[in-house]
């Protein structure tokens, strides 16, 4: 199924030039650009989340935090055999 998306004529010229330079269809280049932006946004959101997590636990001792960690309902004594 083909859909029409309007873009700025300058962007179309750039896309056409990239298509000629890479010998790839413009649709492939657009798909690659869209997926790249999607990955970039996911990575940015992940980094932001990790940064918030780090800031929230800045005063917490890592060893203490891991002492309190559990995996489901598994008792730590079960792992010390």
Q: What is the pLDDT of residues 63-72, one digit of tens each?
A: 566 666 666 6
Q: Which residues of 20-31 are buried (b: 16+ CB within 10 A; e: fewer)?
A: eeeeeeeeebee
Q: What average pLDDT does the segment 21-42 reach?
A: 96
User: What was the pLDDT predicted at 11?
Assistant: 98
Q: What sections of the chain are H helices per DSSP?
A: 9-22, 26-56, 62-67
Cα distance between residue 41 and residue 35, in whole Å: 10
Determine what percent of the chain is predicted with pLDDT higher than 70: 70
SS3 (DSSP) at 77: helix
Which pTM does this prediction carry? 0.61
Q: Where are the domains of the chain?
A: 9-69
Q: How confident is the model at residue 29 (pLDDT cuts 50, 70, 90)?
A: very high
């Amino acid at each position: 199924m083909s859909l029409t998306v309007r873009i700025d004529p300058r962007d179309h010229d750039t896309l056409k030039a990239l298509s000629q330079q890479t010998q790839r269809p413009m649709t492939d280049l657009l798909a690659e650009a869209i997926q790249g932006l999607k990955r970039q946004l996911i990575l940015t959101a992940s980094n932001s989340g990790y940064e918030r997590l780090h800031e929230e636990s800045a005063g917490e001792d890592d060893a203490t935090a891991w002492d309190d960690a559990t995996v489901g309902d598994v008792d730590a004594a079960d792992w010390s055999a």
